[in-house]
Structure 1
């Protein structure tokens, strides 16, 4: 059970009234996931992601410090927060916004499955948003592969 003060809580699946954009992005991830491998950046390239490009933020995982660095910030997230956080780490964002972003990303990384959450965000009023945390692998020839997290939030109707 969730209280009125909860700001985020996990979802097993997207709600029936989830925005089409959220459903489409999760479907795209699922279409490119394989039983033995995550989707790769070859799948998750700018051309394929065009319908969601303003909604997406990309984080690189740094195992040496066990944190996720924001490499590319979606314009819609910048508009939502009113700030640019490029270069920041998930733990910094958690501290500033009182969220569980690092934990959500860690679940996606360790399970190699999307992590879905419902968020309550205060603007002038409380609004509901669905958050998708999608694990993706960036393969680097001759170097170690980089685990990435693609994050998107969509306002619920």
Structure 2
């Protein structure tokens, strides 16, 4: 089952373990992994999407927003330069119960650098391109919400 949780901006100063302890007071089953995503938008209405490598265990060749897991050693779950704060939280049950905080960030610079260990391609996508790219339904919904938030 997928759930939506609306964290407050005060959660940005929490560590991973503090955030999970707070959320897990009411979560059933409890979350055991926290990830962060950034919907990076340009002023012209494009969003940065990265294509997962073909040899990835989960979702090979699928486009996603930049992000990653929050490690125990990360001092906080948020960044002070986040322009819009958390947009929502999605859980993805399976072998692990994962919660993802997704942020909307506006940028002026159009250059980016891929980590070739994780992604094979990056693209500044428009809303019209979403039907042409391999994207999960959940990710497409998140992308459309982020794009709509700027209009």
Compare the two structures and name the one with the higher helix fraction: 1
Could you say whether these structures have the same fold, taking a TM-score greater than 0.5 normalized by the shorter chain as the test? no
Normalised TM-score (structure 2): 0.31
Normalised TM-score (structure 1): 0.30
Higher relative contact order (CA 8 A, sep 6+): 2
